[in-house]
Amino acid sequence: MAYVDGFVIPVPEEKLEAYKKMSRECGAVWKEFGALEFRETVADDAPPGKLTSFPQSVMLEEGERVVFSWIVYESRAKRDEINDRVMKDPRVAAYMDPANMPFDAKRMIYGGFEMMIDL
């Protein structure tokens, strides 16, 4: 069954274009190394909640947008293999430096998930 890495990220509105550029470049590398899907979405209907919400999860600040992203792999083993290769690739290396990220990586939420249902 497939395996998914998921991310929720706060991106300043003025850095959305830089984020898209980074995502396109890095996504191409993930796909080249075998990721089945590479998706990036930006919230347009994710209101703050009373107890929990996407904005609260990343401590969203004024002038920022929530980005919800996922990468689909054939399996956990394939994901680990692909991510190892991606992180060593020079096309991605510069973006892994927090100083070059167009978002606050300390507020990024991420994790790996086993596919439970795939309709």
pLDDT band at 58 (very low <50, low <70, confident <90, very high): very high
Residue 49 forms part of a structural domain: yes
Q: In what order do the strands lie in the sheet with 64-73?
A: 37-42, 64-73, 3-12, 109-114
Q: What pLDDT digit, counting tens, does each position of 68-107 carry?
A: 999 999 999 999 999 999 999 999 998 888 888 999 999 9
Residue 119 forms part of a structural domain: no
Q: What pLDDT digit, counting tens, does each position of 2-53 carry?
A: 999 999 999 999 999 999 999 999 999 999 999 999 999 999 999 999 999 9
Residue 68 forms part of a structural domain: yes
Residue 98 forms part of a structural domain: yes
pLDDT score at 53:
96
Residue 108 forms part of a structural domain: yes
For residue 33, what is the domain's CATH number?
3.30.70.100
Domains of the chain: total:
1
Residue 84 forms part of a structural domain: yes
Question: What is the pTM for the complete model shown?
Answer: 0.93
Residue 86 forms part of a structural domain: yes
pLDDT score at 86:
97
- Note down the domain range covering 37: 3-114
pLDDT score at 94:
87
Residue 12 forms part of a structural domain: yes
1 pLDDT exceeds 90?
Answer: no
Under DSSP, is residue 97 helix (H, G, I), strand (E, B) or coil? Answer: coil
